[in-house]
Chains A and B, each alone.
Chain A
C-alpha cells in the first residue's frame, strides 16, 4: 500500500497535497478506498464553498459502504475534479493522483503542519 512522502494525512483518511503556499489538492488515501470498495458515486461541493478544518465537504458511495468526507484543513473550493462525475472508480485506481477530489485555497496554511506525515499515517492504519 502506498503512503507518498510529499503528502499530508488526516486521521479521517483524507490527504492534502500542498501545491504552493495557498493552494492544495484534497483526496482520500489508498487505505480509505480499499475499505470502501469500488466507488460508485461522489457527492462533491460546488466551487466557491468554504469549509472549516474537519467539516464535512461531501460524501462517497461505494459498494461496501458510504462515508462522509472531512476537510483536512480549512479552505475554499476552487476546482472540483470533473473526471470523477463519469468515472468515480478513479478513486480506487489512482487515489493519490487522478482521483483527487477538490482543489482548495487554504484559509490557514499553517494547519497543514499539524497533519500527519506519511510514516505517522502508515502507523495509524497498519
Chain B
C-alpha cells in the first residue's frame, strides 16, 4: 500500500496545486494531510477548499487551531521580537481572510489519525500527528535524543509516527530491544508543501510504502520517499509582497528557510 502524506501548506495555493499534480502522477492508494493549511500567504480559503474537495482526511495543525478559534495566538515558537511582530501580522491577516464555513472546518479537524494494520498476524500502528502525540505545537527536530523519541512513540503506541510542524523532513529508524527481539520504530517528519525550511525552496511530501511482509522486526520493512516538486515560487512570493504580510515571508519562500 502506498500512502501519500502532505503537511504545512500554509495558504500557498501554487505549491498545493503542484503537489497534487505530482501526487496524481504517483497514484497512491491513500492520501492524508497533517495540518497547517493556513497562515503566511494569501490563499487560506482556497487551500482549505482544495483539500475538502478531494475528501482528504486531515488533522489540525497549530495554525489551523488558532484560526479555527479566531485566536491571535498560533502556538508558533518565534525566537525574536521581529519574528513575533511578523507573526502577529500574519495571524491577524489570516483571521481577516478566512470565511465562516472554512473556519468551522478548521475548528472541527481531528487531532490525530491512527491507522492500524494487521499484517502477518502482527500489529502495526501508523500514527499521524501534527507536532507530537502530546502537543500539537511540539517541535520534533532530527537531533531529538533517541530515548526521548522512543518514549514518545511507546507512550502513543506508534510503530510508525508521521508528523510535520518543523518544515524539515527526515526519517529516523529507532531500534528498541523488546524481549530478545529488536523492535524497529520509524519517526518520519514529512516536511512542508508550502513553506519549506530546509534550505530547498521546492515543496516536499512523503510517499510511504507498506509491503505485504512489513513487520516491526524488519528494519527495512517500509519505504519512505521524500518527493520534492517544483512550483511557481515567484507567484507565491509576489502574492506575499502584494499583501499586508511582511516581505520577509516572500524571501523565506524564495530561499527555503
A interface residues (Cβ-Cβ under 8 A, vs B): 37-38, 40-41, 59, 61, 63-66
Contacts and interface: CB of A to CB of B under 8 A. Distances in A.
Interface stretch (B20-28, B129-137, B205-213, B219-227): B129-137
B57 to A, nearest CB: 25
B131 A63 contact: yes
B145 interface: yes
Interface residues of B, number: 14
B145 A66 contact: yes
Nearest to A65: B139
Interface in B192-220: none
16 contacts: A37-B77, A38-B135, A40-B132, A40-B134, A41-B148, A59-B145, A63-B75, A63-B77, A63-B131, A63-B135, A63-B139, A64-B77, A65-B139, A65-B141, A66-B144, A66-B148
A66 B149 CA distance: 12
Contacts of A40: 132, 134-135, 138
A63 B139 CA distance: 6
B77 A61 contact: no
Q: Name the residue in A38, A40, A63, A65 with the highest tally of chain B Cβ atoms < 10 Å from its Cβ.
A: A63
A61 B131 CA distance: 14
B194 to A, nearest CB: 22
A40 to B, nearest CB: 6
A40 B132 CA distance: 11
Nearest to B141: A65
Given A41-B134, A65-B141, A66-B148, 19 more contacts: A37-B77, A38-B135, A40-B132, A40-B138, A41-B148, A41-B151, A59-B145, A61-B148, A63-B75, A63-B77, A63-B131, A63-B135, A63-B138, A63-B139, A64-B77, A64-B139, A65-B139, A66-B144, A66-B145
Contacts of B141: 65
A115 to B, nearest CB: 27
B99 to A, nearest CB: 30
